[in-house]
Amino acid sequence: MDLSIVIPCYNEADNVQKLESEFFPVVAELARSRSVEVVFVDDGSLDGTWQALGDNFGGGRKPGLTLKFERHQVNCGLGAAIRTGFAAASGEIVVTTDSDGTYKFAEIPALLARLTPEVDIVTASPYHPQGGVAGVPAYRLVLSQGSSILYRLLVNWRVHTYTALFRAYRRKVIETVPFESNGFLAGTEILVGGMLRGYKVAEHPAVLYSRAFGVSKAKIKRTIEAHLKFQWRIILHRLRLASLVNRRDTVGAGAS
């Protein structure tokens, strides 16, 4: 399989028709030049999402595409859904995208185009100077943009956005970068973990839109706490590395 697209879903029944009309024409075009599979992960939805996915896409009506359906019996969180999707995906390249189209599905080919041979991860970047946001509630921007600024200071200033789900990964990344979070921190964990392991990241300047149906599933207080704890772990990691370097330099100076 050349390309897998993982789509986590939680109470997204109202967005299934949007997937039909806006997502599948894009992947059908991609499937003309490569093998493509779509992995839906229903994360314990209570609104009929699983039934809606089956009714719309379970009948094998998508020529040239392989469709997979994974389901959590209870809601486990975005990170858990990503983990399940990664385990089911068989593509050499794996794309993750929101089911609500807050990043336009039509951007997937442009996202993939930035995955050049020397790049391992491409992340959507609304906070890039050429990116943007449209109609997104202020509280979401405070959380997302504020977190990204802190990660820029701690990890790599040249990467502007650390919180987007809309990404493309090479298989070696998802096979070698572990992440602990079952929640919204997971995407940031993967990106930071990949960067700390030396994987090359490119940004795709994109516009982040407000969702048309439903409400954001982010638990604000829990997500802020998770980011703060992870940022503290990064600081401790940096301090340990600095201590090792200083110790090595001291030993080297003594030997000379």
Average pLDDT, the chain: 91
State the residue for tokens 């940031």: 188
Say yes or no to pLDDT of 240 above 90: no
Once rounded to an integer, what is the mean pLDDT over residues 130-142? 89
Q: Which residue has the higher pLDDT, 211 or 1?
A: 1
Say yes or no to pLDDT of 101 above 70: yes
pLDDT in tens, 53-64: 999 987 655 677
pLDDT in tens, 38-49: 999 999 999 999
Q: Which domains does the chain have, with CATH numbers?
A: 3-255 (3.90.550.10)
Residue 241: predicted pLDDT? 80
pLDDT in tens, 149-197: 999 999 999 999 999 999 999 999 999 999 999 999 999 999 999 999 9
- DSSP SS3 for 202: strand
Beta-carbon contacts of 146 under 8 Å, excluding residues fewer than 6 positions away, are none
Say yes or no to pLDDT of 142 above 90: no
Write down the pTM of the prediction: 0.89
What is the DSSP secondary-structure string of 73-90? SS---HHHHHHHHHHH--
Integer Cα distance of 28 and 64 in angstroms: 7
Residue 83: predicted pLDDT? 98
Integer Cα distance of 194 and 101 in angstroms: 25
pLDDT in tens, 211-231: 654 455 567 788 889 999 999
Integer Cα distance of 251 and 256 in angstroms: 9
